[in-house]
Amino acid sequence: MRILAAGDHFVAPELLTRELTAAIGTGHTIDELLLPWPLTPFGPVREVDEASGDEETVITALHGVRICVTQMAPVTRKVLDSAPDLRLVVVGRGGPVNVNLDAAKERGVQVCNTPGRNAAATAEYTVGLMLTAMRRIPETSAALTAGRWAGEFYTYDNCGPGLDGARVGLIGCGAVGSRVARALTALGAEVGLYDPYADPDTLSRSGTPVADLDDLLRRSDVVSLHARLTAETRGLLGARELALLPDGAVVVNCARGALLDEDALCDALESGRLAAAGLDVFAVEPPPPGSRLRTAPRLVMTPHLAGANTSVAHNAARMAAAEVSRFLRGEALAHRVV
């Protein structure tokens, strides 16, 4: 069996190969391909999203390959048309957005993913970004690095709010949102949850369910996004929604940039209605040079790092290898999407 380990600079090809070998032994040929992400940002490739590399390179690497394990390789209709031997694509991430699922189904190619592989990492980062923005850590660190003891940040007007006793609204209560809820509860926050698709029992265990998004926003000192990006959720928080937040609220987004209207966020920060915001994701990545985000006050930005730690890379590789092992044994895949 010929297998392609199409890794990148996060989940490296050699890591995929190592976990595959541990799971299925040495009786298979494993070819390796290194894709440029994250040193080069991902983006759309033809009809698929959040992909890395080009079709021709992937087509060449897939010659004679029956199983492809990857995070970011663009598995487009053209790629699938050019890979007649391919029977399984394992995507080492929560959503297989880099695969044309319709084309795969038409060709009898099974596709599976690795949901939850970075849920803990993203939850940790969300709470960290929340605290970083609320407690004004970047400004105070920059001042001290520059040689200035910024005592003004200890004044009531400048020190920023905390999480103990804060009303935090989470939009989405899946693998990440539910973990964020538990962490915030441990820190003393009052957690409200809006997720029309979640199991009611899950919501009740994680915090206080709120049936209406507008109600959640009106009662939240901090709001954090944890929804998937769909046609329905695109632009979920716009000017109208941000205006419902109490004065001095904080907005955090570690999910997908297009969930949030960035111009509306900048307006709210510049007017002083919002106390702070933290963004790890953006509608366009990286934000273009003229983006208002680059000059917005009290905004902490990081380059899509929430799901990135060493444990996540190992989780993705192990989960992907386990799916390959199931496929080779003729068992049902644990996370098949096509």
Catalytic residue numbers? Answer: 256, 285, 304
3-state secondary structure of 264: helix
3-state secondary structure of 142: helix
Distance CA 22, CA 248 (A): 52
Residue at token pair 């660190």: 141
- Backbone φ, ψ for residue 244 (5° rounding): -80, -20
Residue type, 296: A
Of 204, 216, 188, 195, nearest to 131 by C-alpha is: 188
CB burial of residue 76 (10 Å; 0-12, 13-18, 19+)? buried
Distance CA 1, CA 137 (A): 52
